[in-house]
Structure formats: structure tokens, C-alpha cells
Amino acid sequence: MAHRVTFIPGDGVGPELSEATRRVLEATGVEFDWDVQEAGADVMDRYGTPLPEHVLDSIRTNGVAIKGPITTPVGTGFRSVNVALRKELDLFCCLRPCKSYPGVRSRYEDVDVVICRENHEDLYAGIEFEQGTEDAKRLIEAIAEISGIRIREDSGISIKPISVTGTKRIVRWAFEYARREGRKKVTAVHKANIMKFSDGLFLETAREVATEYDDIEFEDRIVDNLAMQLVARPEEYDVLVLPNLYGDIISDLCAGLIGGLGVAPGGNIGDRAAVFEATHGSAPKYRGMNKVNPMAMMFSGMLMLRHLEERDAADRLERALAAVIAEGKSVTYDMKPSRDDPTAVGTSEVADAVIVRLEAGV
């Protein structure tokens, strides 16, 4: 039976990347029944919001979506569609596999790290108190009263909540992923030596969850040490599980290790829904130019195929993408030795080349 999947083309370069990705996904032979839904800057006039309720309903019903990037409107009062999607659908895990493919221009060859970032808590919970406001003053007073520590009067304050519930969920998810994907090790990342009651709790909870998975190795690393080790010896790491802020930073570090945004896929996943999308944004200056790299979104499509248990199709798509990258001919400007290389092809030509490989059964 065809998989019914919500398909959100997005805005900026989103529609052209989405079209290229749809074509390669269909060329795997897997049947899709696309439920196309518009979101982003282009629908604001029509619906008064970049994320209409019917788009959320579609994802809730189908349980799976693939999405092009969406521009965050500046100065309109609307929050980011991407953040809203994660919150509304309780997509608590941001999955970012970072794998080296021969042919990608990068300093490293053997990176194969999977990042599982907690998506809701930590300093990104949005609990902030602006410097000089009445609320900030009240909080400073309350902290002085409770802890005896007086924060400077002219401080702005961001709160960092990390819960047992939120940590258990993300760490379990990381272990389940490791098991499902045949991975060997999970590393919990923290700064528990300094933040005992937030990162310390994350570490303690992760250790507890790890005892449920004796088939998978478990270790922990302090985040600054991990950053240094990833740059020095990335091949030593397998699955990383991190609170929100460290996850954000380490995801970008790992995207850099594997050759940058053009090839970095992702998924935001919860218990009831999953939304797959590239790590990069909507690159508005390239809109409609058939120029940017669709590989990150195509690799996100590969992750979606795995999520849908279409493992054979996912493997074939991965091999086809890897072959096109290795050959280095039908790739966009960002994957050529120089950015003004005249032999660079456009977005849709990359899709054509991947489809040729898929059809040849490479």
C-alpha cells in the first residue's frame, strides 16, 4: 500500500529542492500518496499565519512528513514555523546523522556520527527575563532570598530546565535507535561538573536508562572535551545524545566535519509524528535559480524511508547518492573544487543523475 505522507514544499529554495527529492523518492519504486500542504512565507497572506492548523492536522493524521526549508519571518510577530512544528507535534528528538561520503570536500574521511538532540528543554525552553524589567527584578529578589546569591541588578536571565521525563525520553530514543540501526555505542554529552542539577540530572538519568540496554555500550563526555575530540578523532564516536543547546552546537560542528550544509540531513521525531528535513535553511537569494544542492533533502528522504521501514529502498537511495557524489560530475556548485566551476549542474540535474543510478540498480 502507498505511504500517505504530508509533503510541505516550503518557501525560498524549498519548492525546487522538494520537487527534486519527490522525484528521487518515487524512483526508488516505493509508492507514495503525497498529501501536499503549503506552509511558510508564501501562505501568510492567505491564512494569516505561516503555519495553518490544517497543515498540523495533516501531519497528525499521516504521522510522517517531509518538508522543504521555511523562512522565519522577521519582525512580523510570527515565531519560526520550524520551532512551532516541533512544539505542536511534540517532536522531542532532533535526529542528525553525519556521515562522510567519498567525494565530498571535507578534511575528514571516516565520520559516521548520529546526533540525537533533545528538542524542547534546556536554555531553549524560551523562559527569559529581560534586563531591567519588573519580572527580572522580582526573580533576582527571589533568587537572593532562596539561595543567598545576589545576581547583578542589570542582568538578563534565561532559565535552563532539564527534567527526568524529558531526559528519559530522549536517551531511550537514542538507545532504541542504536539498537534498530545496529549501532554499538551511545555517548551522553553534558557539563555535569558545573551544572549539577540540570546537566547532572541529565547524566544521572542517562546512566539509569543505559542499564536497560546492556547490548549497547554507554559512556559520557563533557561537552567541551567532546568538541575537541570530535575534531581530533571523530571516528571514535557513534550515537551522541545531548541536551538542546549542546545538541545544536555539536550538530553544526558535525555538519562541518562531513562537508557542510549541502549534505546534512535531519528529522524531528516524536512518538506520534516525524518530520524529515535538511539542516539548512531556505537560502532565499537562490530562490527559483535551480542552483542549490538537493542532497541534504534527499538524504532526509532516505531517513524517512528508513522510518517507514522501507530499508531496502533507503539503502538503494543512499548508494545512488553516494555514487553521484563520488563521481563528482552531476553535483551542484558547492560540491565542486571551486564555487564558480562552470561544470556545476543545477538542482534538477542532480535529481536526474540520482534517478539514473537508481534505475541502473547501482
Binding site for ligand NAD (CB under 6 A): 69-72, 82, 261-262, 277, 280-283, 292-293, 296, 334
C-beta of 103 vs 281, nearer to ligand NAD = 281
> Parallel, antiparallel, or unpaired for β 274-278 and 265-269?
antiparallel
Short-list 285, 278, 276, CA closest to 263: 278
Judge whether 228 and 246 are in contact, CB under 8 Å. Answer: no
C-beta of 72 vs 163, nearer to ligand NAD = 72
Judge whether 287 and 66 are in contact, CB under 8 Å. Answer: no
C-beta of 198 vs 251, nearer to ligand NAD = 251
Contacts of 13 (CB under 8 A, 6+ apart): 68, 69, 282, 283, 284, 286, 287, 289, 291, 292, 347
Give the cell for residue 346. 543545477
Q: Which of 33, 57, 224, 271 is catalytic?
A: 224
H or E segment to which residue 87 belongs? helix 81-88
C-beta of 285 vs 311, nearer to ligand NAD = 285
Q: Is 329 a catalytic residue?
A: no
Q: How far is the CB of 39 from ligand NAD (least distance, A)?
A: 10
Residue at shortest CB range from ligand NAD? 281
Give the cell for residue 183. 549501532
Helices 295-307, 347-360: axis angle to 10 degrees equals: 40
Q: Tell me how crowded residue 311 is: count the other CB atoms within 10 A of its CB.
A: 11
Q: How far is the CB of 169 from ligand NAD (least distance, A)?
A: 22
C-beta of 13 vs 317, nearer to ligand NAD = 13
Q: Is 248 a catalytic residue?
A: yes
Q: How far is the CB of 93 from ligand NAD (least distance, A)?
A: 15
Q: Is 191 a catalytic residue?
A: yes
Q: How far is the CB of 103 from ligand NAD (least distance, A)?
A: 16
Q: Which of 11, 199, 238, 248 is catalytic?
A: 248
C-beta of 295 vs 323, nearer to ligand NAD = 295
Short-list 280, 298, 284, 310, CA closest to 351: 298
Rg (CA), the chain: 21
Short-list 66, 69, 116, 60, CA closest to 89: 60
C-beta of 226 vs 298, nearer to ligand NAD = 298
Judge whether 334 and 328 are in contact, CB under 8 Å. Answer: no
Q: Is 224 a catalytic residue?
A: yes
H or E segment to which residue 278 belongs? strand 274-278
What CA–CA distance (Å, rounded) separates 19 from 40? 16
Q: How far is the CB of 284 from ligand NAD (least distance, A)?
A: 6
Q: Which of 124, 177, 237, 333 is catalytic?
A: 124
Q: How far is the CB of 14 from ligand NAD (least distance, A)?
A: 8
Q: Which of 191, 199, 237, 238 is catalytic?
A: 191
Judge whether 99 and 257 are in contact, CB under 8 Å. Answer: no
Judge whether 257 and 222 are in contact, CB under 8 Å. Answer: no
Q: How far is the CB of 69 from ligand NAD (least distance, A)?
A: 4
Give the cell for residue 70. 521555511
What CA–CA distance (Å, rounded) separates 313 from 309? 9
Positions marked active-site: 124, 191, 224, 248
